[in-house]
Amino acid sequence: LGVAIHYVQDATVPQHTTDCGADRPKCRHTEYEDFVDEFVIREVPHPKSVIFVPSFIPSDYVKAAASQSYLLINITSLDTAKPDNASRVRQTAISQIQHAIQLSAGLLKRFFQVWRTDPFQCVVLRVDELNERKGRKCKSKGDCERERGRDIEASGNGVKDRVATDADMT
């Protein structure tokens, strides 16, 4: 789920849907992302709707993002040092961020509607294993048990998952 949402959001960046990588100066890939981070992200109003298509699978959400984004490369690669260009890039970026939010919300809605019957992968990371990688050890068996969280069975699919505890968040 996290990877799918990441791909949806990445696909709303026009430079990610074309061959305009950071190694091509005329594409302004890095400049566009910096511009969005610095100026646009705080200006984005919440979208008023979600994009949800019952027949979509996760890759369809990525394709929907990419097919719109691809068409905007000529705008997002403009030099934002020029005021007219900055305005056009800003409006395009706001629209693309809203599109990313709408598609991500649709993908989340889909997940919660079909997660019991749709095959999915689950990654389990035990806190004691993470601590060992960081060179930390639990002080006692009880500490490890509290940190580890409790195992639960995800309904209907037999996949073991974990419930995070407060210790996971520190």
pLDDT digits (tens, 9 = 90+) for 43-62: 888 899 999 998 898 899 99
Q: What is the mean pLDDT of each run of 10 residues along the chain (170 residues)?
A: 90 89 83 85 86 90 93 90 90 94 95 81 56 56 44 32 36
Q: For residue 89, which phi and psi values (nearest 5 degrees)?
A: -65, -40
pLDDT digits (tens, 9 = 90+) for 5-30: 999 999 999 998 888 877 888 889 88
- The pLDDT of residue 166 is 36
Q: How far apart are CA 145 and CA 150, in angstroms?
A: 8
- The pLDDT of residue 135 is 58
- The pLDDT of residue 118 is 78
Instruction: Read off the pTM.
Output: 0.67
Mean pLDDT for the chain overall: 76
- The pLDDT of residue 97 is 93
- The pLDDT of residue 103 is 96
The 3-class secondary structure across the chain, one letter per residue, is: CHHHHHHHHHHCCHHHHCCCCCCCHHHCHHHHHHHHHHHHHHHCCCCCCCCCCCCCCHHHHHHHHHHHHHHHHHHHCCCCCCHHHHHHHHHHHHHHHHHHHHHHHHHHHHHHHHCCCCCCCCCCCCHHHHHHHCCCCCCCHHHHHHHHCEEEECCCCCCEEEECCHHHHC
